[in-house]
Structure 1
């Protein structure tokens, strides 16, 4: 197996790069690896709460929304 090691500026190893073919082989051999790397599509409870509040605010007053392009322009001006 050909690995590449990632080091910080002090020379401490902080990560490893595994070639994709070897990673796929490891995932086939050790099925629990697949479970570890599958991204979670579940929202955290605090994220769900924020989204629920925003959706509720919108339905309570659908006219009270900002223009997307104008908002982007305002953000760019403030940078």
Structure 2
């Protein structure tokens, strides 16, 4: 997939562009992709609440994503 990054005048990346062919492939694989900005279903809200409660009870379970990537790289 070819990706083009769009930057503002200060060089900050503000958007990503993909080709229409890539967009069509994404839409074929994920037909609901256009609706991702809609409201969360109640079951997803409940799941998020459960996970946040688990983190609050045991904050040591939460680790930076960089640690996960490092662990995954070691497994190769």
TM range (shorter): 0.3 to 0.5
Which of the pair has more CA radius of gyration? 1
TM normalised by structure 1 equals 0.42
TM normalised by structure 2 equals 0.43
